[in-house]
Structure 1
Amino acid sequence: MPHQLSNSRASSTARAPRTPGVLTRFRTAAAATALGAAMLVPVAAAQSASAAITHVANPYVGATPFLNPDYVAEVNAQASADGGTTGATEAKVASNQTAIWMDHIGAIAGDSTHHGLQAQLDAAETQAAGSSTPVLFEVVIYDLPGRDCAALASNGEIPATAAGLTQYESQYIDPIAALLGNSKYSNLRISTIVEPDSLPNAVTNQSKPACATATPYYETGVEYTLNKLHAIGNVYTYLDIGHSGWLGWPSNMTPAAQEFAKVAKATTAGVASVDGFISDTANTTPTDEPFLPNSTLQVGGNPLDSVNFYQYNPFFDEHTYDEAMHAALVTAGFPSSVGMLIDTSRNGWGGSSRPTALNSTPTTAAAYVAANKIDQRPFRGDWCNVNGAGIGYRPTAQPYGASDPVIAYVWIKPPGESDGDYPSGTHTHGDPHCDPNGTQTDGNGGTYPTDAIPGYDIPAGNWFAAQFQQLVSNAYPALGASSGDTTPPSVPTGLKVTATTSSSVSLSWTASTDNVGVTGYNVYRGSTKVATVTGTSYADTGLAASTAYSYTVTAQDAAGNVSAASTAVTGTTTASSGDTTPPSVPTGLTVTGTTSSSVSLSWTASTDNVGVTGYNVYRGSTKVATVTGTSYTDTGLAASTAYSYTVTAQDAAGNVSAASTAVTGTTTAGGSGGAGCTAAYSISSDWGAGFNANVTVTNTGSTATKSWKVTWTWAGNQAITNMWNAVYTQTGTAVTANNAAYNNVIAPGGNTSFGFGANYSGTNTAPTLTCTAG
């Protein structure tokens, strides 16, 4: 499955941790066994299982999970074979719900050793007859035409053609919908994970011919699926949103939200046809990075997200990514009630390599990240049978409380089932990314190992004993912890400020108690979580001098329960009494682009003895923004108007530099009719031999665009290496970027964006862009 990752945001050669596509469940021949029931999610008020269940906001609350008997048999067979303490620990996995994958048409009917969909539903119905709470049934819908267009290990059976789409609808979706819609099962809560990896590929992989061909079938197929499933009252639909290492860059996140909204709005019920979204499906990106809560923290003069592992992606974990994506989806037109799921089946990263406390001693951003990240992959793009991964949090409803958009942790990828095999002399199918001896690149010249578990070549979905054993060994929380516990820890008490400086506030509190043990504390500055720590103290750094900050703390336990917040305390930083040296004055302030309503600026970074923390942008004498980077777009301006800008830099001690030399940006004339557009250019990162840039295309006309094109000519030797959200050609120094298939339409006054990575030597002068619209 094409989880794209690189500082190019969407390198076709660097796929981030695998999502469910990789789980082409060709399965094993383990004998099916009787299933048991276990209460894995908090239970609300009892509800009659025999009565039809109303469509609720969160189907995971108050539900009893259905356990897939095929997976239970796989786990129990492995636990029996290993025996002893190891086997006893492994057996605990079987009591956690995993999804049932409909990954090919034949899976609907099943085979001699694996239940078909009707048999699974009948078993769930039998369980519901003896349950006082609703039974939750999870199923993955995964067989689109041209499935996994950017991957090899999980390509599907249906071709990306008009005939393939007809086959998908009539032979796959229609039979599934008929079974799920049978009134016999109307008392079940049926959660459907709809076509993992499909729509994210439509956002980032249009430069791949297979993806460009498949995208229209993805969009039409998902639309058809949503129409069929939403019509069934007890079915819940969750669309896949990749993961933070794929769509986390802002230049990917916004187009992704727009793509999801485009497909949902095309359905009969519109955005109401989608109950929510799921991230990290069959992936290993951590749910939280407890010791790296601030991705822009400056260490050694560089933000943490600048290191190669993150490549300026601001989202290090799934929780922060899901919250940001939720906001982007709401902006795109979805209601705020849409819920977010996180697949935690393989993202625990426990074991001896997991950091247990913050290490604040490294003096460079790269060393700081290496010492403190729990994600132990050498490259964030590793996705196939990742070595060292562990089972994560158990399936849990509302892990962050009822007010957080994350409504549940789920296990969609069954732990222990292979992501895929690799080509060999006797076996040509497979994916090179699954080869333990293979390598992959990050799009910037960096080469990394695939990090697949060495010594194995196991087809997708087949049982992988060594992987299962490793996942259990590296589970976090450890599998000895109670997975059925729903009691949160006690509220932290005695929160107090123990010290302040001009740039920090130190806190301490009294430890909480819990029946299965407290695993950490979440520290909040206002409503923003700034850290998760294992001890009972924390120093919040990088603050402004002479400023009051409010703090609260919550406790969490090994089962994922979170306490209520502590009483708030206020810490006020002191006036700067030490460092009085301001940063150097920002230089090179230039206007990089204008539209009828905006002016884009960029400048050269300042230097400072204690580190620059931000830049203040002034329009005339009015401060319009404080940013951490070296670019800014001032929006909401009047057409055909000149605006003067200056920039100052500030440091961790609160010192502010003198103002830069002023520049003037003049907005273009407003659109008077028909189609028209402007393009604004900004550099998001530059490392001397290469850079990333973003281009914002704005419709200045009075009608929606049908197409758009941006052209420019480089003044130097810049050479584009890859581009996302647009299709480009470069001949010599001349570049043409045309709209992608999904972002050709821009409403009057609206905008879209694309980005690219490029190499150069010498100077890197910003080009003058020309935009034309059709």
Structure 2
Amino acid sequence: MRIRSRAVVAVVGLLALAGCTGDAQPDPSAPGTASAGPDAPVRVSADGHVDNAYAGASMYVDADWTSNVLASAGEADDAVLAASMRAVSGEPTAVWLDRIQAVTGTATERGLEEHLDAAVAQASQDPDGEPVVVTLVVYDLPGRDCHALASSGELAATDADMARYRSEYIDVIADLLARDEYRVLRIVTVIEPDSLPNLVTNADDEACQAAAPYYREGVVYALDAFAPLEHVYAYLDAGHAGWLGWTDNAEAAVALFADVAGQTRAGLTTVDGFVTDVAGYTPLEEPFLEASDLVDGTPVSDASFYASNPDLDEAAWAADLHARVLAAGFPDTTGIVIDTSRNGWGGIGRPAAASSSTTLDTYVDESRVDRRVHRGAWCNPEGAGLGERPVAEPEGYPDAHLDAFMWVKPPGESDGSSRLVANDQGKGFDPMCDPTYTSDRLDGALTHALPDAPISGAWFPAQFAQLVANAYPAVGSEGGDGSSPDALAGSCSAVLTITDSWSSGYVADVTVTAGAPLSTWSVTLPPGTVLDDLWNGVEADGRITPLEWNATLDAGGTANFGYVGAGDTPAAGALACASA
């Protein structure tokens, strides 16, 4: 997301914002109303609510994202790049609920109910019976993203729109998640990226001052609405190392997190964890730099690029954050998720060793893997790459207490448009997304944003191509937790697409993608499938195996089969795929 100015508002000022809620008073009977009394309802502790939602579960694969990836692969001129795109097409990503219509759905966009149905279908296909965890980004606060324009939203910072946020957005989401058929899922909610961090570093911004009471009220309302659902998990957004890593910012941020969570019915236990680097580019690790290392007598953290911020990377910030939130009273089960969707920084620009320079800034600039001109270059920056693949309980970062690496921002979805683009989503134009803009926030440097970008959240093929080309670990190589990304995703993936349907049947197409070289594969069809016709495969006991000519696949290679099914149309999405 954004990097903000280093200036930090005093904690007392943050806490004082609690009383500035306008004329509207919360309805005590509403599901999100805070109550600190001894009889206040709290989350029911049950076997269904585990410490880490991602542990022992598979993650939801969004067929819409997969379709975009496969379309980009089909248009790529570079065969190797196209194969790498296909190899990651089965990776899980979060679903962004960035406006009311994203929840209800439109004629061209699946709503939350359809995503949840697809996740249930995915769970039913899992050969090991693992639960499926769905990551939802709750992102529609009144006055959203108050310090930027590219992802501003549909709701204004007013009492009237706060009422809409509660009744038309959060209540609708909570009612859907509460349905019995979705209790088989584990649902992770990422609560309002950019909101509380903005109140830490941008309290002097007039737009943030106007939005502050609604951010606080809205976050409390969302937490209280989801807390009674034992299969739902709440993670607060916690910025990133280049935003909140300074000691004064970190202290104020944790104080604010604790104060806001403390206003909920269940208090700090309402929060299961924190997510860092959401839609960000801060590297997981800076392998050749330590903040305290001295270059000509000066710490690395004092280099111009880091500006005395001791947290050089997300692993450092996650460890710093975790220690602070536990000291603030959050439970010791609190976990951290890092969004690794775009913080890989591989490619030819990645340094292979530390610099030999004895000049501090030169040493840092030649040693850092973060290739941005400035840590504040947040919009579609040149040179970025996919980071670690999504995985639960990644190893190697014990102080960070990581629940997962997750692709919270779906790779290939734009941060913001390069110029003003008319849209009906309330999204504006931020000059930080214009590659020709020279910004004081970047110490007078050009933004180095990619050109011709669409509005935030729209598919950006050029960016996706860059991310895949610059992936670190490279597609098919060993991941940071010691496992290959392909093994983490499975040796193959399969995605079902409905190409036609009628009252008594439908036509389905299934794309199989190899995560590693395969000599054969098999795909499990949705339960109850009745075949009227099948091509490019052989069916036995509900499983499709290939013909001789489409059985062998290289890593990243694809095969397709199709069928005509009788009866109800199944949900599009991922199917279980095996290498034998």
> SS state of the match for residue 390, structure 1?
coil
Which residue, 295, 310, 313 being the options, matches 1:317? 313
Query: What is aligned with 1:163?
Result: 160
Q: CA deviation at 1:212?
A: 0.7
| Cα separation, 2, equivalents of 1:2 and 1:377 | 13
Mapped pair 1:244 → 2:246: no
- CA distance in structure 2 between the aligned counterparts of 1:63 and 1:484, rounded to whole angstroms: 17
Do the aligned partners of 1:390 and 1:473 also contact (CA within 8 Å) in 2? yes
* Distance of 2:56 and 2:308 partners within structure 1: 40
Moved more, 211-220 or 361-370: 361-370
Distance 1:471 1:465 in 2: 10
Match of 1:470 in 2: 466
Residue pair 2:2, 2:376 contacting (<8 A) in 1 also:
no
User: What is the aligned partner in structure 1 of residue 378 from structure 2?
Assistant: 383
CA distance in 2, matches of 1:425, 1:70: 23
Q: In structure 2, what is the equivalent of residue 32 of structure 1?
A: none
Corresponding residue for 1:24?
Answer: none
Q: SS state of the match for residue 233, structure 1?
A: coil
Q: Does 1:91 align with 2:86?
A: yes
1:55 and 1:78 map into 2 onto residues whose CA distance is 38
Matching residue's letter, 1:71: W
Tell me the equivalent position of 2:431: 432
Pairing of 1:489-508 with structure 2 (within 5 A):
none
**Pair 1:82-2:76 in alignment:** yes
Q: Deviations over 1:622-641 (max 9, x none)?
A: xxxxxxxxxxxxxxxxxxxx
- Between the aligned partners of 1:114 and 1:96, the Cα distance in structure 2 is 20
Structure 1 residues 181-227: Cα deviation after superposition (integer angstroms, max 9, x where no partner): 11111110111111001001111111001101111110010001000
Contact kept, 8 Å, 1:423 with 1:429, in 2: the verdict is no
Map of 1:439-588 to 2, 5 A cutoff? 439-442=438-441, 446-453=443-450, 455-481=451-477, 482-485=484-487
Residues 1:116 and 2:111 aligned together: yes
For the pair 1:58 / 2:55, whether they are aligned, the reply is: no
CA deviation string 1:143-168 (max 9, x = no partner):
00100000100111111111111110
The corresponding residue for 2:278 is 281
The residue identity in structure 2 corresponding to 1:398 is: E
Alpha carbons 1:53, 1:188 under 8 Å: kept: no
Aligned AA (1:188): L
Provide the identity percentage. 46
Q: In structure 1, what residue type is equivalent to 2:308?
A: Y
**Cα RMSD (Å) of the superposition?**
2.0
CA distance in 1: counterparts of 2:373 and 2:294, whole angstroms:
22
What residue is the counterpart of 1:736 in the other structure? none
CA gap of 1:282–1:124, structure 2 versus 1, over 3 A, is same
Number of aligned residues: 441
- Aligned position for 1:337: 333
Give the aligned partner of residue 120 of structure 2.
Answer: 125
1:348 is paired with a residue whose SS is coil
Pair member with larger Rg: 1
Cα 1:461–1:424 shift into 2, 3 Å: closer
Letter in 2 for 1:349: W
Residue in structure 2 matching 1:181, options 171, 178, 181: 178
Does residue 148 (structure 1) correspond to residue 136 (structure 2)? The answer is no
SS of residue matched to 2:211: helix
C-alpha separation between the residues in 2 aligned to 1:342 and 1:408? Answer: 7
Tell me if structure 1 keeps the 8 A contact 2:371–2:383.
yes
Counterpart-to-counterpart distance in 1, 2:53 and 2:284? 21
Question: Displacement of 1:93 after TM fit?
Answer: 2.0
Which of the residues 410, 415, 418 maps onto 1:419? 415
What SS class does the counterpart of residue 174 from structure 2 fall into? helix
Secondary structure at 1:192 match in 2 = strand
Displacement of 1:447: 1.1
> Following the alignment from structure 2 to structure 1, what is the Cα–Cα distance between the partners of residues 104 and 210?
30
Cα 1:227/1:77, change in 2 over 3 Å: same
Q: Check the 8 A contact 1:237/1:274 in 2, yes or no.
A: yes
Any idea what the Cα deviations from partners look like across 1:307-330, whole Å, max 9, x if unmatched? Answer: 111110111100011100111111
- What are structure 2's unaligned runs of at least 5 residues? 10-45, 478-483, 490-515, 517-580
1:400 CA displacement: 2.6
Aligned match for 2:202, one of 200, 205, 216: 205
Partner of 1:351, secondary structure, is coil
Question: What amino acid maps onto 2:438 in structure 1?
Answer: T
Question: What code does the residue aligned with 2:436 have?
Answer: N
Q: Secondary structure at the match of 1:388?
A: coil
1:402 and 1:288 map into 2 onto residues whose CA distance is 10
Aligned to 1:3: 3
**How far is 1:448 from its partner?**
1.4
Is the 2:194–2:237 contact (alpha carbons within 8 Å) kept by the matching residues of 1? yes
Deviations 1:515-550 (A, max 9, x none): x9xxxxxxxxxxxxxxxxxxxxxxxxxxxxxxxxxx
The SS at the match of 2:485 is coil
DSSP-derived class of the 2:341 partner: coil
What TM-score comes out, normalization by structure 2 length? 0.73
Q: How many Å apart are 1:486 and its aligned residue?
A: 5.7
Which is strand-richer, 1 or 2? Answer: 1
Evaluate the alpha carbon distance shift between residue 420 and residue 402 of structure 1 in structure 2; reply closer, same or farther with a 3 A threshold. closer
**Alpha-carbon deviations, 1:718-774, whole Å to 9, x = none?**
xxxxxxxxxxxxxxxxxxxxxxxxxxxxxxxxxxxxxxxxxxxxxxxxxxxxxxxxx
State the one-letter code of the partner of 2:62.
Answer: N
- Which of 171-180 and 158-167 deviates more? 158-167
User: 1:422-461 CA distances to partner (integer Å, 9 max, x unpaired)?
Assistant: 4459899300000000011248xx31111101x3142111
Scaled by the length of structure 1, what TM-score is found? 0.55
**Cα pair 1:9 1:247 within 8 Å, conserved:** no
Any conservation in 2 of the 1:345–1:393 contact (CA below 8 Å)?
yes
Contact 2:103 2:112 in 1 (8 A): yes
Aligned pairs for 1:734-749 (under 5 A) are: none
Normalized per residue, which structure has more helix?
2
Q: Which amino acid aligns with 1:172?
A: Y
1:176 CA displacement: 0.3
Rounded Cα–Cα distance in structure 2 between residues aligned with 1:119 and 1:128: 14
One-letter amino acid matched to 1:438: Y
Q: Which one scores higher on RCO, CA 8 angstroms, separation ≥ 6?
A: 2
For residues 444-494 of structure 1, what are the alpha-carbon distances to aligned partners after superposition, in whole Å with 9 as ceiling and x for unaligned?
xx31111101x314211111111111110000001123424369xxxxxxx
Look up the SS of the partner of 1:4 in the other structure. Answer: coil
Secondary structure of the residue aligned to 1:94 is coil
Aligned partner of residue 485 in structure 1, secondary structure? helix
Equivalent residues of 1:5, 1:245 under 8 A apart? no
Q: 1:218 aligns with which of 215, 219, 235?
A: 215
Instruction: Indicate if the aligned counterparts of 1:53 and 1:234 stay in contact, CA closer than 8 A.
Output: no
Kept in 1, the 8 Å contact 2:414–2:453? The answer is no
Structure 1 match to 2:64: 70
CA distance in 2, matches of 1:338, 1:302: 35
C-alpha distance in 2 between matches for 1:429 and 1:171: 23
CA-to-partner distance for each residue in 1:597-655, whole Å, 9 max, x for gaps?
xxxxxxxxxxxxxxxxxxxxxxxxxxxxxxxxxxxxxxxxxxxxxxxxxxxxxxxxxxx
Tell me the alpha carbon deviations over residues 657-696 of structure 1, each in whole angstroms, 9 at most, x when there is no partner.
xxxxxxxxxxxxxxxxxxxxxxxxxxxxxxxxxxxxxxxx
What is the aligned partner in structure 2 of residue 103 from structure 1? 98
Secondary structure (helix, strand or coil) at the match of 1:470 reads: helix
SS at match of 2:89: helix
Equivalent-residue separation in structure 2 for 1:220 and 1:468 (angstroms): 36
Equivalent position SS for 2:336: strand
Q: Secondary structure at the match of 1:3?
A: coil
Aligned partner of residue 166 in structure 2, secondary structure: helix
Task: Provide the rounded CA distance (Å) in 1 between the counterparts of 2:389 and 2:449.
Answer: 24
Judging changes above 3 Å, is the alpha-carbon distance between structure 1 residues 278 and 367 closer, same or farther for their aligned structure 2 residues? same
> Is contact 1:345–1:392 with CA below 8 Å preserved after alignment?
yes
Q: Given the superposition, is the C-alpha separation of residues 226 and 429 from structure 1 closer, same or farther in structure 2, using an over 3 Å criterion?
A: closer
The reply on whether 1:397 has 2:396 as its aligned counterpart is no
* 2:421–2:429 contact (8 Å) kept in structure 1: no
Q: Counterpart amino acid of 2:172?
A: P
Work out the CA distance in 1 between the residues paired with 2:420 and 2:119: 41
